[in-house]
């Protein structure tokens, strides 16, 4: 039986967001534009071509891993399921997994680029007539809930290939992974592709292809700003520069100014000096164990990791282990504290809240997780932390008791003198 594929009429891609993000990015000291704005129709087409270049090993390596292990992957995920792809693009690798999906499963494709999403949905619907395919035009970072069909109680799995996670800073990636765990719930899993650290020469070549497609991809962002935002930019005033920076472990893409110039946008003037740049992308590279630590700090356990023979690329199957709510003060800008500061903070808060000298195990476990101790110090043992806080608490409690006695004494003395 052929099932009808259905478009969900949601288009939450906000064009005003592009203007606001570009203006905010150009006001920063290190100017930057979020890489998600690369992907208009032209940028998406260029990216597809980059993936075909000899130097850009990521796509073919990930595809080969998927091709070899997709049956095992889908077996571990379990059937039927709600297969949700974040940022599907042309979904070139998706069929490798969909071929193992049973007909009671659903597949939800999410992408920010509407024309490409429509084409992808039509292609997959024709290729997999037995699977219900849904298309949602959205920025997956902004989802408030998983866009599943009403009353769908299938176990969800997020497919997030291509090492797109590398385009976020580790802090942003942690935030996004936490959010994904919350969206997908305690039963959920994620199959995620992550590019690995390797010889910088291989990385530099991958982002400086000889055909010049990556350069065109980067420069298209300026053309898009002109087309869609009416930005006025000096023709040929900025040039492409991409390189591996080994300290943070990322490839950086920049648009470097060839001379002092001004970009006019939305009534503002943005001055850029000669040699200064607008950073357009970070592409972080992780060793598999580094990525597992990051995933763990966001509430995901690793069930399995697959790599190629050269260990160029890894695919991780993650399972939600706990759902961590990012409190407002724990957002992206949360400051990392010293461990001793956390100990002090916990002891003071506990004393204030309970007035007790004996630490409660549930209270301290919650503090440990919710206040970021675990994220900042992933190797810190909870029992050892508990002992440190108990010691600080005993001192504080004793000090508070002595102070109370002193104050009582002061208050009683004048009374007894008057008698």
User: Which residues of the shown chain bind ligand AVI in the complex (CB under 6 A)?
Assistant: 50, 58, 162-164, 166-167, 207, 214, 281, 283
**Which secondary structure element, helix H or strand E, spans residue 86, and what is its range?**
strand 81-86
Tokens 């497609």 correspond to: 213
Is the CB of 49 or the CB of 79 nearer to ligand AVI? Answer: 49
DSSP state of 123: H
List beta partners, residue 82: 106, 156
Is the CB of 58 or the CB of 231 nearer to ligand AVI? Answer: 58
- Distance in Å, CB of 309 to ligand AVI, minimum: 21
Is the CB of 270 or the CB of 284 nearer to ligand AVI? Answer: 284
Is the CB of 214 or the CB of 390 nearer to ligand AVI? Answer: 214
- Distance in Å, CB of 252 to ligand AVI, minimum: 10
Please state the φ and ψ torsions of residue 148, each to the nearest 5 degrees.
Answer: -100, 155
Helix axes 361-370, 339-354, angle to 10 degrees: 130
- Distance in Å, CB of 166 to ligand AVI, minimum: 6
**Whole-angstrom distance, CA of residue 188 vs CA of residue 142:** 19
Helices (H), 53-169: 57-77, 94-98, 114-127
Q: Distances in Å between the alpha carbon of 44 and those of 27, 79, 112, 142, 382?
A: 27, 32, 10, 20, 46
Which candidate, 186, 183, 1, places its Cα nearest to that of 86? 183
DSSP state of 91: -
Residue nearest to ligand AVI according to CB distances in the complex: 283
- Distance in Å, CB of 194 to ligand AVI, minimum: 10
List beta partners, residue 243: 252
Is the CB of 110 or the CB of 359 nearer to ligand AVI? Answer: 110
**Whole-angstrom distance, CA of residue 152 vs CA of residue 145:** 13
- Distance in Å, CB of 190 to ligand AVI, minimum: 16
* Longest CA–CA separation in the chain, Å: 99
Residue 128's Cβ-side half-sphere holds a number of Cα atoms within 13 Å equal to 22
Is the CB of 90 or the CB of 164 nearer to ligand AVI? Answer: 164
- Distance in Å, CB of 207 to ligand AVI, minimum: 5
- Distance in Å, CB of 295 to ligand AVI, minimum: 17
- Distance in Å, CB of 167 to ligand AVI, minimum: 5
Is the CB of 46 or the CB of 320 nearer to ligand AVI? Answer: 46
Is the CB of 58 or the CB of 315 nearer to ligand AVI? Answer: 58
List beta partners, residue 155: 81
């Amino acid at each position: 039986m052929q099932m009808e594929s259905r478009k969900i009429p949601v288009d939450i891609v906000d064009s005003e967001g592009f203007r606001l993000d570009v203006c905010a990015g150009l006001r920063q000291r290190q100017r930057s534009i979020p890489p998600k704005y690369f992907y208009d129709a032209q940028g998406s087409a260029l990216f597809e071509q980059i993936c075909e270049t000899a130097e850009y090993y990521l796509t073919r390596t990930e595809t080969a891993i998927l091709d070899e292990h997709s049956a095992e992957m889908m077996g571990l995920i379990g059937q039927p399921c709600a297969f949700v792809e974040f940022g599907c693009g042309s979904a070139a690798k998706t069929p490798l997994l969909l071929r193992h999906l049973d007909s009671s499963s659903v597949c939800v494709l999410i992408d920010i680029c509407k024309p490409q999403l429509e084409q992808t949905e039509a292609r997959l619907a024709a290729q997999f007539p037995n699977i219900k395919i849904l298309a949602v035009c959205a920025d997956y970072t902004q989802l408030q809930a998983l866009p599943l069909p009403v009353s769908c109680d299938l176990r969800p799995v997020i497919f997030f290939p291509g090492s797109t996670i590398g385009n976020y800073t580790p802090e942003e990636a942690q935030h996004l992974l936490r959010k994904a765990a919350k969206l997908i719930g305690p039963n959920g899993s994620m199959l995620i592709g992550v590019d690995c650290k390797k010889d910088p020469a291989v990385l530099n070549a991958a982002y400086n292809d000889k055909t010049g497609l990556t350069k065109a991809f980067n420069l298209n962002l300026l053309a898009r700003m002109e087309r869609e935002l009416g930005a006025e930019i000096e023709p040929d005033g900025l040039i492409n520069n991409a390189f591996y920076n080994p300290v943070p472990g990322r490839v950086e893409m920049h648009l470097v100014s060839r001379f002092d110039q001004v970009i006019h946008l939305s009534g503002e003037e943005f001055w850029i000096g000669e040699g200064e740049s607008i950073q357009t992308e970070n592409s972080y590279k992780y060793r598999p164990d580094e990525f597992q630590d990051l995933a763990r700090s966001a509430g995901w356990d690793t069930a399995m990791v697959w790599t190629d023979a050269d260990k160029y690329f890894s695919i991780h199957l993650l399972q939600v282990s706990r759902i961590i709510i990012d409190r407002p003060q724990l957002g992206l800008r949360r400051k990392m504290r010293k461990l001793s500061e956390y100990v002090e903070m916990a002891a003071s808060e506990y004393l204030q809240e309970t007035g007790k000298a004996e630490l409660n195990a549930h209270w301290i476990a919650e503090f440990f997780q919710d206040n970021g101790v675990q994220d900042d110090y992933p190797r810190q043992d909870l029992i050892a932390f508990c002992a440190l806080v108990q010691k600080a608490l005993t001192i504080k409690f004793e000090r508070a008791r002595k102070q109370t006695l002193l104050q009582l004494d002061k208050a009683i003395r004048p009374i007894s003198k008057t008698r």
